């Protein structure tokens, strides 16, 4: 299952999120890294240092685009300027697949710049799936949607989060970027079984997996990407890999960023789970 139509039939291994504090190290030391994930919006500019650095990275590494502003779940239409710039970047990076979040973030043209949670309704699933399809047709690249961490639930919801995810990806016929840390965080915040979530995801649609660290507060857990991955998340990851097969895996580390070697070493802990897992069915 590692190579499927949702990740462009690629067989990528372990990747690391490309972050500004690591630019110099990467360009000078040229570490051996499976692939880099970039935040698309950081490079959707007309010129300057971001694109110059990206071009140097592209000369030596495989790059996959991960977006934060498509807002497939917003009730309003896709932003045409965002899409146009995203397509230009897709042509530049030749990303084999593209990911963004299963969330909303804008309404009436006002932007929250956050990954806001969806009400799990059939109407929301329909709107979201339609926008994913529109984006894919325009961008001409496979799209996978990522489950987000959330801190609120809506009275309006008509199904569980994993049922909503399945509803959207089946309707849109798109892939899944399965973030096991986000599943863990939300399971703690909303008191559900994270294994039930993983077991409910259609394995054939998983294009990529995210792992990350988070911060624990007294009454909730926040998805901060500023710590190493904790053991319960590694265990959930192990379970996910057994279920979906060795899948392109990316470590996110966005705040209190340590040295590149430290981040890379943390990502490479995934290796032991990726080597020939015995596939299981729930």
Partner 1 sequence: MSLLDLQRQMAADLMRPLAPGDRLNPKTAAAYIKPNDRLTSRERLEIYSKSYWYRLLDSLYEDFPGLRAVVGQRAFGKISQAYLTDRPSRSWTLRNLGSQLEEWLRLYPAYAGARLKPALDMIRLEWAHVEAFDERADAVLGPEDLLELGPAMRIGLQPYVRLIELQYPVDDLRVKVSAASDDHGTASNAVLKRKTGGLVRRISRMKAEHIFLAVHRLDFTVYYRRLEAEEFRLLSGLRAGLPVGEAMEAAIEESPLGVEELRGRVETWFAMWAEMGWLCRWQS
- Per CB under 8 A, the list member of 55, 220, 280, 282 interacting with partner 1 is 220
Residue (of 33, 67, 38) closest to 51 by Cα position: 38
- Interface positions, 136-165, toward partner 1 (CB under 8 A): 151-156
| Per CB under 8 A, 258 contacts partner 1 | no
Please report how close the Cβ of residue 67 comes to partner 1 at its closest, in angstroms: 10
Contact residues for 52 (Cβ-Cβ < 8 A; gap 6+): none
Q: Does 80 bind partner 1 (CB under 8 A)?
A: no
Three-class DSSP category at 274: helix
| Minimum CB–partner distance for residue 68 and partner 1 (Å) | 9
Backbone angles phi, psi at 145, to 5 degrees: -105, 140
19 binds partner 1 (CB under 8 A): no
Least distance CB 1 / partner 1 (angstroms): 33
Instruction: Please choose, from the candidates 46, 48, 50, 47, the residue with its C-alpha nearest in 3D space to the C-alpha of residue 18.
Output: 50
Is 75 a binding residue for partner 1 by CB under 8 A? The answer is: yes
Token representation of residue 113: 């710049």
Residue identified by tokens 């650095």 is 53
| Binders of partner 1 in range 99-118 (CB under 8 A) | 104, 106-114, 116
Instruction: Closer to partner 1 by CB, 108 or 281: give it.
Output: 108
Q: What's the closest the beta carbon of residue 48 comes to partner 1, in angstroms?
A: 4
Task: Return the number of the residue (32 or 48) whose C-beta is nearest partner 1.
Answer: 48
- Stretch in the footprint of partner 1 (CB under 8 A) among 1-9, 41-49, 205-213, 245-253: 41-49
Are 103 and 148 spatial neighbours (Cβ–Cβ below 8 Å)? yes
- Closest CB to partner 1 among residues 45, 279: 45
Say how many CA atoms lie within 13 Å of 28 toward its Cβ: 6
Cα separation, 40 vs 54, whole angstroms: 11
- Rg (alpha carbons) of the chain, rounded to whole number: 18
Residue tagged 């043209």 (tokens): 109
Q: Identify the residue among 7, 74, 166, 249 touching partner 1 (CB under 8 A).
A: 74
| Residue 123 contacts partner 1 per CB under 8 A | yes
26 near partner 1, judged by CB under 8 A:
no
DSSP string over 64-117: EEE-SS--TTSSSPPPHHHHHHHHHHHHHHT-SSEEEES-EEEETTEEEEEEEP
Closest approach, Cβ 155 to partner 1, in A, equals 6
The contact set with partner 1 (CB under 8 A) reads 41, 44-52, 69, 74-76, 79, 81-82, 104, 106-114, 116, 119, 121, 123-124, 127, 151-156, 189-191, 219-220, 222
């Amino acid at each position: 299952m590692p190579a499927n139509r949702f990740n462009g039939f690629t067989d990528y291994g372990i990747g690391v999120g490309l972050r500004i504090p690591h630019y110099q190290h990467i360009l000078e030391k040229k570490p051996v890294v499976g692939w880099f994930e970039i935040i698309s919006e950081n490079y959707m500019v007309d010129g300057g240092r971001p694109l110059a650095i990206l071009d140097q990275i592209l000369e030596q590494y495989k790059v996959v685009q991960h977006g934060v502003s498509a807002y497939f779940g917003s009730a309003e239409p896709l932003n045409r300027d965002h899409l146009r710039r995203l397509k230009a970047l897709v042509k530049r990076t030749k990303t084999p697949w593209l990911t963004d979040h299963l969330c909303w973030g804008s309404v009436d043209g006002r932007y929250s710049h956050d990954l806001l949670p969806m009400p799990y309704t059939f109407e929301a699933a329909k709107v979201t799936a339609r926008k994913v399809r529109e984006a894919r047709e325009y961008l001409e690249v496979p799209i996978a949607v990522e489950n987000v961490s959330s801190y609120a639930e809506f009275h309006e919801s008509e199904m569980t989060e994993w049922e909503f995810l399945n509803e959207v990806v089946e309707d849109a016929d798109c892939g899944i970027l399965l973030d096991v840390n986000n599943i863990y965080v939300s399971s703690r915040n909303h008191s559900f079984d994270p294994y039930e979530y993983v077991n409910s995801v259609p394995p054939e649609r998983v294009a990529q997996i995210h792992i990350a660290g988070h911060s624990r507060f007294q009454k909730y857990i926040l998805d901060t990407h500023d710590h190493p991955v904790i053991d319960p998340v590694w265990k959930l990851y192990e379970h996910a890999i057994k279920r979906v097969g060795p899948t392109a895996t990316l470590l996110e580390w966005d705040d209190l960023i340590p040295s590149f070697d430290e981040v890379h070493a943390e990502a490479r802990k995934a290796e032991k789970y990726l080597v020939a897992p015995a596939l299981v069915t729930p």
